[in-house]
Structure 1
Amino acid sequence: MSINDNILIKIREMKDSLTPVEKLVADYILENLEDIPHLSIKSLAQLTKTSDASVLRFCKTMGYKGYRNFIVSISASIGSMDEEQRDQYTDIQPGDDLSIIISNISRNNSKSIEDTLSVIDKNEIARAVKVLCDSNRIVFFGIGASGLVGIDAEQKFSRINKMCHTYTDGHSQLTAATLLGKSDVAIFISNSGSTLEILEALEIAKKNGACIIAITKYNKSELADKANIVLSISTPELTIRSGAMGSRIAMLTVIDILFAGVASSEYKHVKKYLSKTHDIIASSKHRR
């Protein structure tokens, strides 16, 4: 179960990986939100030029046993949305005033975190925290902006004396994956879930018996399909002008959650490491 369950966000995130018929249903729902709670399954099928069976398959794809449960969830999601939540992400526009840029980027980042709470599964977080606590070694894999998230994760987990490292290029990732064992955890970070280098390293890590955790967009992807644990994020639908800002913020939030979860679970054991690392950094600042 998601932390702040919102089926509308799940539909938005999932629609690009749906079948053509399911996408017809998804697009119609997102474009006609106010009408959906009042439609029968037959009416929705007619309006989307599909069939009752197709609508029902769509509901099951989104995790619901039947149409009635799906509609109840739609109604709840619509009812919980205020005007600010209905706003879409805002892309960078040529000539934007600096005050507008500050407002838009701040809102986009906040929305990425908020929407991620609607797609990430609390039970999967709990499973991830447990395997990280029990792990011999943690290895992070990421390319580009996702690699930067891995570097942040390494810095955090090192503070509590976890043996960990981040690999951010294809060749080193293949080498690292080859040396993983059954007591190790491999965390693969990829927004798309289809980055070639990531998938190649994943295959090797999986064959070696490492537990695979994926941090990736809520979507159907090869990475999500092959991982043992999937931690989904929600990302804005923007153009290339914005780069990976929204996804990076969402991924960093997931890393923070995992770190805090592990540190809290093992607090008696890791408290001394947190104190030592805090003290050495503080004393270093005073010497400057």
Structure 2
Amino acid sequence: MSQKIVVIGSSNTDMVIKTKVFPLPGETVLGQTFLMNPGGKGANQAVAAARLGADVRFVAKVGQDIFGNQAMVDFKKEGLDIDHVSQTPDYPSGIATITVNDKGENQIIVASGANMDLKPADLPDVIFEDASLVLIQLEIPLETVRYIVEKCRSLQIKLVLNPAPAKPVDDDLLNGLYLITPNETETEILTGIVPDSPESLKKAALFFRKKGVEHVIITLGEKGIYLSNGQYEQIIPAVEVQAVDTTAAGDVFNGAIVTALSQGWNWLEACDFACKASAISVTRMGAQSSAPYQHEMK
């Protein structure tokens, strides 16, 4: 039986330009297609989980502007519990500019806005009620992340950290995590280990587990994922597809993995499910717009 998932994190509006090649410094290139889509790692993950059948409570902060107003409308359409998404007059809503090339690769710049005003005072105890899993990222203040870690630890709630965008974190933030889900770049930044071989992947995963993380999933893009815990130590291959846009592929993976785990699936089943959801997402443009629905996972 599925239980409530609490996603605490960022909400952005993505300005996406499709282009043949990325511009060099000082160079102007003519783009092809422009899209404006809802995004932000927290919102992407919340929407992905909800579309896949999870009962999701989303906690975030947006501005009292056109982007924040539209985000609130979109969250309701997705069926999210947004009783604790607040709108502030003090900061604009978060914005991201995203350039996508012909290979589906992306370059992203984020203006955080209201996301960096999400403080511990915005997180009342009630948001943790009935939570089976809490999922967070690093697009909100580190003091807020630290508060959530300590709160979940005291309440014995399983906490999943997607450490993106990567930044150095204290050992105390890692100790007691149920799951951490870095990509290759984030793994190198956090561990100092380049995860480019089975041996280095195992070494990097062991780094996290020695810090007190129970389960480790290192996402490897088109190569799949590396799963490490007390039961498994292996690469799980990705589903082969033709990538159009890799934006939010990791977010969809995170939304899918917590959905599967909340339903009591074993680790291999959950990872296969999340890899499939992520593969579907890269065949579509956009962030939240690329997240698959439950009926597409049959």
In the superposition, the TM-score normalised over structure 1's length comes to 0.30
Kindly name which structure, 1 or 2, has the bigger radius of gyration based on alpha carbons: 1
Higher percent of residues as helix: 1
Higher strand share: 2
TM-score (norm 2): 0.29
